[in-house]
Amino acid sequence: MALFDYTIKQLEEKVHNGEITVEELVNASYERIHEVDDEVHAFLTLNEENAKAQAKELDKQADKTAALFGMPSGIKDNIVTKSLRTTCASQFLDNFHDPLYNATVVQKLSEQKAVTIGKLNMDEFAMGSSNENSSYEPTRNPWNTNYVPGGSSGGSAAAVAAGEVLFALGSDTGGSIRQPAAFCGVVGLKPTYGRVSRFGLVAFASSLDQIGPLTRTVEDNARVLEVIAGHDGMDSTSADIEVPAYTEALTNDVKGLKIAVPKEYLSEGVAPEVKASVMEALKVYESLGATWEEVSLPHSKYAVATYYLLSSSEASANLARFDGVRYGVRSENADNMIDMFKKSRSEGFGEEVKRRIMLGTFALSSGYYDAYYKKAQKVRTLIKQDFEQIFQDYDVVIGPTTPTPAFKVGEKVDDPLTMYANDILTIPVNLAGVPGISIPCGFAKEGLPIGLQIIGKHFDEATVYRTAHAYEQATDHHKQRPQLGGAK
């Protein structure tokens, strides 16, 4: 069987009815991985022996009503998993074989009987937009393996797009779920900051990071968020707010929905075919009874600079713990303790991680703090206020997820500023802390997917899902599959 062909709901029904076993589901996942992952490189570590043993145990259980019973899943490799290696795609953590505990989201999936298939490739310490910064090997886009899958959750998006797992978890600091979801033609949600616990997520920028699901359909995405969302006493930034039944919001009814379309999101730098796909999507919404108007997010032009100052500053502080003593691979070439710190970090970290640590340390340094970090925090407030003002009159904000479709492997890796600019449409959502989703809305002339971004009010993922689901059901972009492996 091909996981491609079914939603989580359909497979759950088949398991409940005895039409298929969990063991068959898990075997199908590994068969697909062994068939195509030499081309895609989505996985860094497989959990094959444990997953197959778990599947056999689940098949013995009489009660099969857990929300994700037996569903094969992948976990981004910066989310810790007990007894399963967690590397953040960095040589520094190559020896981190057992973190000793599960992240809260992993524990919640376990309680609902999901099966962890393995750990997914990513940009090192989640710093990147193409997955080329993995210290192991770059992940490839399943639609065309000459192209990047996006980043930093590139392995998560590629694994779902390639049919290797039913769903995956990623993390989003400046677009790291939504951008690869757009590039790989899947559904990716960054929840409201605080909606999902960050306990057990290796920190990059603590005020921006958020864990979220990547799936093939909006309904699957909503089902996974229902499981992983909620307050967690182990995370002081976790919001103590009730989690709605998101799947109940998928009514296909968007009559009267008021959509804001920022002119800045369709201006210079956005590829014509991306703009055309977004305009076509807006026509679909009009046909469904929604209305849209052009608005302005005037401070969005400062978002990239603001983000890289703030996120790099937080990364500089968060990554100080990786010193070869408390964490990480220790250099064997050191003569003394200070030398060991320096060499462990210089040998263990990749170029992009070093670049951001240096940028952040500079921004936080005496004499520059007010000029850079403090000013960036003030601009962040202005960006947040832009969204608050728009949401007084509109239900959602809609635009492209990325300015262009996926680019070729190697095309931008030597030009960091061009790579950073690729996140210009996703970064404001993280700075404001609001939820955003990317769903497929078309294809570029090379056959590469294009993503539509839907942004909602704080803790209003239900409206975001309703808006996304109505469009998905009115189109067939989500039904397309990459020609990969036996699917050729």
Q: Which residues belong to the active site?
A: 76, 152, 176
Q: Is 170 exposed, middle or buried (0-12, 13-18, 19+ CB in 10 A)?
A: buried
CA–CA gap between residue 143 and residue 380 (Å, rounded): 36
Contacts of 190 (CB under 8 A, 6+ apart): 172, 175, 177, 178, 210, 212, 426, 429, 430, 435, 436, 437
* CB atoms near residue 323 (< 10 Å): 18
CA–CA gap between residue 377 and residue 371 (Å, rounded): 11
CA–CA gap between residue 228 and residue 206 (Å, rounded): 18
CA–CA gap between residue 390 and residue 411 (Å, rounded): 36
CA–CA gap between residue 412 and residue 168 (Å, rounded): 26
DSSP code for 205: S
* CB atoms near residue 442 (< 10 Å): 19
CA–CA gap between residue 304 and residue 27 (Å, rounded): 43
* CB atoms near residue 14 (< 10 Å): 17
Percent of the chain as helix, strand, coil, to the nearest 5: 45, 15, 45
Task: Give the Å distances, CA to CA, from 173 to 126, 303, 431.
Answer: 8, 13, 9
CA–CA gap between residue 315 and residue 352 (Å, rounded): 12
Sign for the CA dihedral angle at 84, 203, 209, 111 comes to: positive
Please name the amino acid found at residue 108. Answer: K
**396-400 and 449-455 as β-strands: parallel, antiparallel, unpaired?**
antiparallel
CA–CA gap between residue 363 and residue 371 (Å, rounded): 8
Contacts of 43 (CB under 8 A, 6+ apart): 33, 37, 74, 117, 118, 119, 120, 121, 155, 159, 164
